[in-house]
């Protein structure tokens, strides 16, 4: 699996939340920092539960954190 067709705004959302670090976000949602890195780079699509947990941390609707772009 290379780059997925799901894009994310986690990097921007972290910036707007007092420059939250990847480690801080990882601790809040219960995954490793490497998993957050992989999600931000679009290399890993998180489970629905993890996606909701990330959206919950930023108090943002899920569709503003993750966007699906169908391949043309």
Residues at the site binding other proteins, with contacts judged by CB under 8 A: 1-2, 23, 30-32, 34-35, 37-38, 41, 43-47, 50
Question: Which three-class secondary structure state does DSSP give residue 50?
Answer: helix
Closer to other proteins by Cβ: residue 45 or 60: 45
Contact 5, 65 (CB under 8 A): no
In the complex, minimum distance from the CB of residue 4 to other proteins, in angstroms, rounded to a whole number: 9
3-state secondary structure of 68: strand
Minimum CB separation of residue 52 from other proteins in Å reads: 13
Q: In this complex, which beta carbon is closest to other proteins, that of residue 17 or of residue 44? A: 44
5, 68 Cβ separation under 8 angstroms: yes
Tokens matching residue 50: 């993890």
CB of 20 to other proteins, least distance (A): 16
């Amino acid at each position: 699996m290379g780059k997925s067709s799901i894009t994310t705004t986690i990097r921007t959302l972290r910036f707007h939340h007092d420059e939250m670090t990847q480690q801080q976000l990882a601790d809040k949602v219960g995954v490793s920092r490497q998993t957050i890195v992989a999600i931000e780079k679009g290399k890993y699509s998180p489970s629905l539960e993890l996606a909701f947990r990330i959206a919950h941390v930023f108090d943002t609707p899920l569709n503003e954190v993750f966007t699906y772009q169908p391949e043309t």
